[in-house]
Amino acid sequence: MAGKLDGRVALVTGAAQGIGKAIATRLAADGARVIISDINEAGGAAAAQAIGGTAIAADVSDPAAVAALFKRIETETGGVDILVNNASIVPFIAWDDVDLDHWNKIIAVNLTSAFLVTRAATDQMRAANKGGRVISISSNTFFAGTPNMAAYVAAKGGVIGLTRALATELGTYGITVNAVTPGLIESDGVKASPHNQAFEFVEMLQAVKGKGQPEHVADVVAFLASDDARWITGQTLNVDAGMVRH
């Protein structure tokens, strides 16, 4: 049976584990040729092997690395059709401890990387004149104003702003641009951080009870990547069991 994404090339950044890995797995299941890009070379290679995809190690906050990444994608596949900006660092640090080095690092990985990769991907999409999908993983912390994450919340808010602006500029080329804002997700990174202690509190705020899973986010991304979502752009979809309602 044909998949919804047959014949399409999808790049998922930060997909060695967690939400990114779940997204890559789902897009591959829907028929896409998936490229996993992660600074974790071994983890990215293992994740790609598991889904029959390709791994290209890259620091997507580095302009030279991004240029090399897209040159290889063009050479090997002809160009990307679907971009998922997922690469992220999720900190836990009080405002009084935030210095400029921390701020710059979080902004670089969570926001500047989205600019660099989206710039390269949409240039490639427009050169091929076949439209495309840009889906960026933001966070519901932007709406909740979650403490101990000031730089992260600012960066993820920037991702939403970039999404809205690019939807306007790129729609004429048949490129849709959307964001997904997960709530607290039981991912590898969260389980290894202080955020793992917040599930009970967060669940009290949710309309639907339970712990969010990476697959919950992957299902929504797969929808936005498909033709079923061809008339949706410039939107932010909250995937947090109704914790934040807007």
* Structure-block tokens of residue 214: 């990476």
> Could you give the CA distance from residue 160 to residue 138 in angstroms, rounded to a whole number?
7
Cβ atoms 1, 73 nearer than 8 A: no
Sequence-distant (≥ 6) Cβ neighbours of residue 103 within 8 angstroms: 151
Residue with tokens 């969260």: 190
Cβ atoms 53, 33 nearer than 8 A: yes
152 a catalytic residue: yes
Cβ atoms 75, 51 nearer than 8 A: no
Cβ atoms 13, 86 nearer than 8 A: yes
Note the helical H segments in 108-206: 113-128, 141-144, 150-170, 188-191, 199-205
Catalytic residue among 138, 152, 159, 236: 152
CA 100 to the chain's CA centroid: 25
Question: If DSSP states are collapsed to H, E and C, what string results for 50-112?
Answer: HHCCEEEECCCCCHHHHHHHHHHHHHHHCCCCEEEECCCCCCCCCHHHCCHHHHHHHHHHHHH
Residues that are catalytic: 152
